[in-house]
């Protein structure tokens, strides 16, 4: 398996991914000199409830630093907070306010708010079906506003304020920004469980926001998973790194706002760079802080059903107060847990409300945590099914929960697994350099394959004798990259194909712009068939893009005559090459062919969903 090289002691390059951190680590300075071309890299992390941005100005012979954006509209001047609410307000189709400003409108009861629509927790609308928690009460999107538009508006807002921060904090910042605006690179942090459908939504939102033109998206936009970001954060900001040594295996559990992302690594080298190998397919479950809030909301609705405080507004205030303090302090031991949500006149002793405070028994709060922790623990156990780690590194906003820490210690400590935490208020990587990961999906195409009775026997009635004399059958799924395959910088896989036509009674065929469809499958076992007998896609298989190239150059010498059992036939060879370019973030595919012995190739297509 090829390595991941940690930021520790490494040189920043095009393959670095920058992800936001907290205001407590508003600046990070690399230990090694940067020798590449001058550029600006912007990182955005649009989370379930909170968002953040960071940037780095890289120039030759400098020691790069990563700076957090710590000034946002609507914040107190002295606040300096790096995080803003993931919140967008709309008046019809017009974006009224974002972030802290949108929250202030809501808190102040702005007179126009009644006719405005709020977009919050948009990340939950993006999760793939395999990840969604059907029981979670997700706030609806504003009428007529698609999720891509909301991301676009949030991105525009964050980018505008990142520019303002850069131009204010960096000497000669306005000139530097203007000079490098056209080639600015962007990095988006995403959950482990997101596939290329979600990435394409983010990509198109960034294009719509004016970050870059569509034809430059592949080179200027990079995605980094929460798992990748977390391991770099812990490596850089952890006060102790006893868990990091040659041969050690450790898991990183990033419990955030809406998902818990877990990844397993083995350390293979410590000098000159720290080198890690991903030890299995990463895990992602929709079980995190927002789920605890949702379950508590259901508990409060039942508890207050006959109380005047059981209305939506009061329960919402209770959940917000719970999230800000009670949830973060709960350790599973306190018999009574208080949520302060109102004023001194708010009283209903029959349900435990005294002077604007509701008291919940330990068992009631445990009931909110339990189903979420069960999902997280199940995910960790699946992660460890291939290899048992010695350490579990717990990071993320929900990872700070004392109760989550103690439960993981109770469950895994007895198995000789140490739970390691980092004392920072938000667990995000300042910068990462990831050279490989294990694929979470299988990719391939639809082919007319040589018939194999063991594999294709159920469709034996569909077998045909091809012009080359072989028995062939249509709509077989041909795998290019299988789920779980380790893909690193420079990865390449080439699939050989050909076109064939009968010669007798036919003139020489002519090739033009030819196409190959690319399909994605996210289940563990590879499908036998790309399509059903009626021509529809195999359930669960998705067409994600089309690879095209002009093969007309083969019309001269590339189409040759072959001899088969039924006479001569025409044949033209070509290839599909699947690669991960050096410094790239997404797989690419392209058609290749030979012209008079020289390899030619068509344009590369990034494997994302265009449907």
Reported as a single tens digit per residue, the pLDDT across 96-109 is: 888 888 877 665 55
Under the banding of pLDDT at 50, 70 and 90, the label for residue 492 is: confident
Q: What is the pLDDT of residue 585?
A: 52
Q: What is the pLDDT of residue 125?
A: 61
Q: Read off the tokens for 391.
A: 């350490």
Q: What is the pLDDT of residue 430?
A: 28
Q: What is the pLDDT of residue 347?
A: 92
**Helix, strand, or coil here: 510?**
coil
Strands (DSSP E) along 99-170, which ranges? 117-120
Q: Please tell me the distance from the alpha carbon of residue 249 to that of residue 416, in angstroms, as a whole number.
A: 13
In a domain, 378, yes or no: no
Residue 467 has pLDDT above 70, yes or no: yes
Q: Of 432 and 359, which is predicted with more confidence?
A: 359
Same domain, 227 and 109: yes
Mean pLDDT of the chain, nearest integer? 80
Residue 382: other Cβ atoms inside 10 A: 14
Q: Read off the tokens for 93.
A: 């189709």
Same domain, 74 and 193: yes
Q: Read off the tokens for 97.
A: 């306010």
Same domain, 558 and 487: yes
In a domain, 452, yes or no: yes
CATH number at residue 65: 3.30.420.40
Residue 60 has pLDDT above 60, yes or no: yes
Q: Please tell me the distance from the alpha carbon of residue 383 to that of residue 596, in angstroms, as a whole number.
A: 50
CA angle 116, 77, 22 (to 5 degrees): 85
Beta strands at 513-521 and 221-225: parallel, antiparallel or unpaired: unpaired
Distances (CA, A) of 191 to 71, 342, 435, 527, 555: 26, 35, 18, 26, 47
Average pLDDT over residues 471-493: 81
Same domain, 294 and 272: no
- How large a percentage of the chain has pLDDT more than 70? 79
Q: What is the pLDDT of residues 31-45, one digit of tens each?
A: 677 888 899 999 998
Q: Please tell me the distance from the alpha carbon of residue 442 to that of residue 552, in angstroms, as a whole number.
A: 31
Q: Of 548 and 113, which is predicted with more confidence?
A: 548
Closest C-alpha to 358, from 293, 290, 307:
307
Angle 147-169/173-180 helices, nearest 10 degrees? Answer: 140
Same domain, 506 and 397: no
CA angle 156, 160, 165 (to 5 degrees): 145
Q: Is the dihedral of CA 275, 277, 283, 284 positive or negative?
A: positive
In a domain, 589, yes or no: yes
Q: What is the pLDDT of residue 557?
A: 79
Q: Of 151 and 126, which is predicted with more confidence?
A: 151
Strand partners for 338: 359
- E strand or H helix at 582: none
Residue 331 has pLDDT above 50, yes or no: yes
Residue 25: Cβ-neighbour burial (10 angstroms; 0-12, 13-18, 19+)? buried
Q: Please tell me the distance from the alpha carbon of residue 223 to that of residue 199, in angstroms, as a whole number.
A: 8
In a domain, 178, yes or no: yes
Are 440 and 281 contacting, i.e. CB atoms less than 8 angstroms apart? yes
Residue 357 has pLDDT above 80, yes or no: yes
Same domain, 8 and 108: yes
Are 605 and 590 contacting, i.e. CB atoms less than 8 angstroms apart? yes
Q: Read off the tokens for 173.
A: 């910042």
Strands (DSSP E) along 18-83, which ranges? 27-29, 39-46, 50-58, 65-68
Q: What is the pLDDT of residues 389-410, one digit of tens each?
A: 988 988 888 888 999 999 999 9
Under the banding of pLDDT at 50, 70 and 90, the label for residue 2 is: very low
Q: Of 131 and 289, which is predicted with more confidence?
A: 289
Same domain, 424 and 565: no
Residue 16 has pLDDT above 50, yes or no: no
Number of structural domains in the chain: 4
Q: What are phi and psi of 290, to 5 degrees?
A: -65, -30
Same domain, 173 and 136: yes
Average pLDDT over residues 236-262: 78
Are 186 and 211 contacting, i.e. CB atoms less than 8 angstroms apart? yes
Q: What is the pLDDT of residue 15?
A: 27
77 CA to centre of own chain: 33
Residue 436 has pLDDT above 50, yes or no: no
Q: What is the pLDDT of residue 229?
A: 72
In a domain, 374, yes or no: no
- E strand or H helix at 337: strand 336-340
Q: Which of 53-57, 240-244, 450-454, 482-486 is the least confident region?
A: 240-244
Q: Read off the tokens for 499.
A: 């076109």
Are 526 and 476 contacting, i.e. CB atoms less than 8 angstroms apart? no
In a domain, 377, yes or no: no
Under the banding of pLDDT at 50, 70 and 90, the label for residue 489 is: low
Beta strands at 275-278 and 87-91: parallel, antiparallel or unpaired: unpaired
Domain that holds residue 110: 4-234
SS3 content of the chain, % helix, strand, coil (to 5): 30, 30, 40
Q: For residues 50, 237, 70 and 260, what is the CA-based torsion angle, rounded to 10 degrees?
A: -10
Closest C-alpha to 8, from 435, 432, 360, 609:
432
Q: Which of 170-184, 487-501, 564-578 is the least confident region?
A: 487-501
Q: Please tell me the distance from the alpha carbon of residue 209 to that of residue 188, in angstroms, as a whole number.
A: 14
Beta strands at 391-395 and 418-421: parallel, antiparallel or unpaired: parallel
Same domain, 13 and 137: yes
In a domain, 387, yes or no: yes
Q: What is the pLDDT of residue 278?
A: 79
Same domain, 459 and 410: no
Q: What is the pLDDT of residues 183-210, one digit of tens each?
A: 999 999 887 767 777 888 899 999 999 9
Q: Please, how many CA atoms are within 13 Å of residue 328, restricted to the half-sphere of its CB? A: 12
Are 510 and 597 contacting, i.e. CB atoms less than 8 angstroms apart? no
Residue 224 has pLDDT above 70, yes or no: yes
Q: Please, how many CA atoms are within 13 Å of residue 1, restricted to the half-sphere of its CB? A: 22
Residue 434 has pLDDT above 60, yes or no: no
Average pLDDT over residues 468-487: 86
Q: Of 565 and 241, which is predicted with more confidence?
A: 565
- Which residues have C-beta within 8 Å of that of residue 60, sequence separation ≥ 6? 34, 35, 36, 37, 38
Q: Read off the tokens for 22.
A: 């907290």
In a domain, 56, yes or no: yes
Same domain, 356 and 483: no
Q: What is the pLDDT of residues 148-195, one digit of tens each?
A: 998 999 999 999 999 999 998 888 899 999 999 999 999 998 877 677
Residue 258 has pLDDT above 70, yes or no: yes
**Helix, strand, or coil here: 15?**
coil
Same domain, 196 and 138: yes
Average pLDDT over residues 324-331: 88
């Amino acid at each position: 398996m090829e390595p991941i090289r940690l930021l520790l002691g490494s040189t920043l390059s095009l393959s670095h991914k920058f992800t936001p951190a907290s205001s407590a680590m508003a600046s990070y300075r690399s230990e090694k000199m940067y020798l590449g071309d001058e550029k600006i890299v912007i990182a955005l992390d649009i989370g379930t409830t909170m968002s953040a941005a960071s940037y780095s100005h890289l120039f030759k012979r400098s020691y790069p630093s990563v700076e957090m954006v710590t000034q946002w509209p609507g914040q107190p001047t002295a606040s300096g907070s790096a995080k803003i609410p993931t919140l967008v307000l709309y008046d019809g189709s017009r974006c009224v306010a974002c972030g802290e400003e949108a929250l202030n409108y809501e808190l102040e009861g702005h007179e126009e708010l009644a006719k405005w629509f709020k977009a919050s927790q948009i990340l939950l609308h993006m999760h793939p079906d395999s990840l969604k928690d059907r029981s979670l009460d997700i706030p609806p999107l504003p009428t007529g506003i698609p999720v891509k538009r909301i991301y676009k508006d949030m991105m525009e807002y964050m980018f505008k304020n990142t520019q303002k921060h850069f131009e204010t904090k960096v000497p000669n910042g306005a000139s530097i920004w203007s000079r490098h605006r056209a080639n600015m690179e962007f990095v988006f942090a995403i959950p482990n469980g997101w596939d290329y459908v979600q990435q394409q939504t983010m990509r198109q939102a960034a294009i719509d926001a004016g970050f870059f033109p569509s034809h430059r998206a592949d080179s200027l936009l990079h995605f980094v998973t929460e798992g990748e970001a977390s391991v770099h954060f812990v490596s850089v900001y952890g006060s102790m790194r006893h868990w990091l040594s040659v041969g050690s295996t450790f898991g990183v559990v990033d419990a955030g706002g809406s998902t818990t992302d877990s990844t397993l690594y083995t350390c293979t080298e410590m000098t000159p760079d720290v080198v890690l190998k991903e030890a299995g397919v990463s895990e992602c479950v929709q079980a995190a802080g927002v789920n605890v809030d949702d379950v508590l909301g259901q508990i409060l609705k039942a508890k207050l059903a006959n109380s005047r405080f059981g209305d939506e507004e009061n329960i919402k205030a209770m959940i917000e107060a719970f999230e800000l303090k009670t949830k973060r302090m709960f350790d599973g031991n306190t018999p009574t847990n208080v949520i302060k949500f109102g004023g001194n006149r708010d009283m209903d002793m029959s349900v435990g409300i005294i002077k604007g405070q509701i008291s919940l028994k330990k068992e009631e709060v445990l009931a909110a945590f339990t189903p979420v922790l069960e999902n997280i623990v199940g995910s960790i156990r699946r992660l460890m099914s291939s290899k048992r780690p010695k350490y579990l590194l717990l990071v993320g906003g929900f990872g700070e929960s004392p109760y989550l820490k103690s439960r993981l210690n109770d469950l895994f400590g007895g198995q000789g697994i140490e739970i390691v935490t980092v004392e920072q208020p938000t667990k995000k990587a300042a910068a990462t350099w990831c050279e490989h990961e294990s694929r979470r999906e299988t990719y391939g195409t639809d082919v007319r394959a040589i018939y194999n009775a063991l594999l294709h026997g159920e469709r034996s009635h569909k077998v045909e004798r091809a012009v080359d004399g072989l028995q062939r059958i249509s709509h077989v799924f041909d795998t290019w990259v299988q789920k779980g395959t380790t893909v690193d910088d420079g990865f390449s896989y080439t699939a050989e194909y050909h076109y064939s036509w009968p010669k007798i009674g036919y003139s020489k065929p002519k090739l033009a712009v030819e196409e190959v469809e690319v399909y994605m499958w996210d289940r563990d076992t590879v499908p036998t068939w790309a399509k059903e007998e009626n021509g529809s896609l195999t359930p669960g298989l998705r067409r994600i893009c089309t690879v095209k190239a002009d093969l007309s150059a083969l019309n001269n010498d590339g189409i040759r005559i072959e001899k088969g059992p039924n006479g001569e036939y025409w044949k033209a060879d070509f290839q599909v090459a699947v690669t991960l370019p050096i410094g790239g973030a997404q797989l690419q595919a392209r058609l290749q062919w030979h012209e008079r012995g020289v390899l030619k190739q068509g344009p590369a297509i990034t494997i994302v969903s265009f449907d």
